[in-house]
C-alpha cells in the first residue's frame, strides 16, 4: 500500500514490476499473483484507497483473463481470499471470479479443489446458477423447462413446469 502511495503502482513477490534494467536477473515466475492482487484489493477496500482498489481489481482481472491464470493452481485459494476478505456488497473481484467460472465451467468443474471451493462459499453456487441461460420449453411458449426421468422405462423427456406439458412419458405414456 505504501508503494502505491509513492508510485501509484505496486509490485508483487512473484512478478517484480520494476524495469528490466533495474535488476540483475528477474525472479523466476512461480505463481499467478491472483492471491496477492486479491489481498491488495481487500486492503484497499478496508482503508478506502479507491485508486489502489481499482488498480488491484484491474491487475486481478488481467492476471486471471489476459495472462491466462484462470486455470492456475492458485485459483481456488484466490477465490477463497476474494470471498473471505471482503463483505458481500464489494462485488468487483466477485464478478470477475463468477465470469471466469461461468466461461470456463466445463474445464474447471473437473478440478476437485475448484468444485470444493464453489460448494463451500455461500452464494457462489447460486450466483453461477443464476447466470445459466434459461431455455424455453420445446413448445416455445414457456420460460423454463426441465428434463424428467421416467422410472418406468428409464428414458428422459422434456417437461415444462410452467405449462405442465410433459406430465406423461412420450416413450411409454406412464405418468412422470
Do residues 112 and 152 both lie within one domain? Answer: no
pLDDT at 35 over 80: yes
Do residues 122 and 140 both lie within one domain? Answer: no
The pLDDT confidence band at residue 147, using thresholds 50, 70 and 90, is low
Do residues 119 and 138 both lie within one domain? Answer: no
The residues near 60 (Cβ < 8 Å, ≥ 6 apart) are 34, 37, 38, 41, 93, 96
| Under 8 Å between Cβ of 139 and 160 | yes
Do residues 60 and 142 both lie within one domain? Answer: no
pTM over 0.85: no
Do residues 10 and 37 both lie within one domain? Answer: yes
Domain membership of residue 96 as a residue range: 2-131
Do residues 68 and 6 both lie within one domain? Answer: yes
Least confident of 51-60, 85-94, 140-149: 140-149
Do residues 123 and 159 both lie within one domain? Answer: no
Grid cell 466445463 in the structure block, residue? 106
As a whole number of Å, the CA-based R_g of the chain is: 23
In 10 A of CB 144, how many CB atoms?
Answer: 12
Do residues 28 and 80 both lie within one domain? Answer: yes
Do residues 34 and 109 both lie within one domain? Answer: yes
By percentage, how much of the chain surpasses pLDDT 90? Answer: 46
Q: Can you tell me the mean pLDDT for 108-115? A: 93
pLDDT at 111 over 90: yes
The pLDDT confidence band at residue 108, using thresholds 50, 70 and 90, is very high
Q: How many structural domains comprise the chain?
A: 2
pLDDT digits (tens, 9 = 90+) for 54-82: 999 999 999 999 888 999 999 999 999 99
Do residues 62 and 98 both lie within one domain? Answer: yes
Do residues 95 and 54 both lie within one domain? Answer: yes
Amino acid at each position: 500500500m505504501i508503494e502505491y502511495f509513492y508510485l501509484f503502482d505496486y509490485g508483487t513477490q512473484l512478478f517484480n514490476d520494476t524495469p528490466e534494467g533495474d535488476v540483475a536477473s528477474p525472479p523466476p515466475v512461480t505463481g499467478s499473483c491472483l492471491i496477492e492482487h486479491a489481498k491488495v484489493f481487500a486492503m484497499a477496500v478496508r482503508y478506502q484507497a479507491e485508486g489502489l482498489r481499482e488498480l488491484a481489481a484491474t491487475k486481478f482481472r488481467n492476471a486471471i483473463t489476459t495472462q491466462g491464470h484462470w486455470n492456475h493452481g492458485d485459483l481456488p485459494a484466490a477465490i477463497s481470499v476474494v470471498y473471505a476478505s471482503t463483505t458481500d456488497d464489494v462485488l468487483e473481484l466477485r464478478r470477475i471470479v463468477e465470469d471466469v467460472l461461468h466461461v470456463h465451467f466445463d474445464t474447471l468443474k473437473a478440478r476437485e479443489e475448484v468444485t470444493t471451493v464453489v460448494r463451500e462459499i455461500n452464494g457462489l453456487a447460486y450466483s453461477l446458477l443464476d447466470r445459466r441461460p434459461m431455455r424455453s420449453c420445446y413448445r416455445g411458449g414457456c420460460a423454463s423447462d426441465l428434463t424428467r426421468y421416467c422410472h418406468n422405462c428409464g428414458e428422459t423427456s422434456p417437461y415444462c413446469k410452467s405449462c405442465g406439458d410433459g406430465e406423461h412419458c412420450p416413450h411409454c405414456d406412464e405418468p412422470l
